[in-house]
Amino acid sequence: MLSESSGKILGPILSTVVLRIAVAALLMVGLNAQAPVSERAQARLAREVRHEIVMLPYFDVFDNIAYKVNGYTVTLMGQVTQPKLKSDAEKAVKGVEGVEKVDNQIEVLPLSPNDDRLRIALYRAIYDFNSLQRYALPVIKPIRIIVKNGNVTLEGVVNSGADKTVVGMRANGVSGVFKVTNNLQVEK
């Protein structure tokens, strides 16, 4: 049983402990709360993230990496042919000043000799076609060719609706392709 004198001693100690817990809880909430990010800062982060992605040494026409900037968090999405490219993309984006967290949702495409054969055939069918050869000039090709188990997805940007249609027709004409999903965007 506690005496009256021990209650007088425990009262201030208990109050001090409760006060310290409350202060610690407030500090934890304050540390986890982020200041709102300005549109200008988000635009800068997006530019730097894009730059880091396109500078990856193994990033080519058969890979598609997209990203979303939300505050100080960057979400990576898309498909790549090599596991190293997935980890390199995450590492590069983590190195961008201002990025606090990277959510890497990039899918590594399965190894398949048939898909590799289709990639080469699709590249030739699209980029060697006379009216589409201008898209073969840039180092970073604007038309991305994603092949997964014989299914083809076309990503990127073209100059006109006619080019989008021609690219889709050329891809559909490659022997061994099961399905073509044409997600190409027409430049405005």
pLDDT, averaged per 10 consecutive residues of the chain (188 residues), comes to 53 56 52 67 92 94 96 95 96 94 97 96 97 90 96 97 97 97 94
Tokens at 167, concatenated: 């690219």
Domains 39-108 and 113-186 alike in fold: yes
User: Which CATH number is correct for 39-108, 3.40.1710, 3.30.1340, 3.40.50, 1.10.287?
Assistant: 3.30.1340
Residue with tokens 């994603």: 146
Torsion of CA 56, 140, 102, 184, to 10 degrees: -150
Q: Which residue(s) pair with 70 in the sheet?
A: 73
Cβ contact 69:45 at 8 Å: yes
Q: Which numeric CATH code is attached to 113-186?
A: 3.30.1340.30
Q: Where are the domains of the chain?
A: 39-108, 113-186
Q: pLDDT at position 30, please?
A: 46
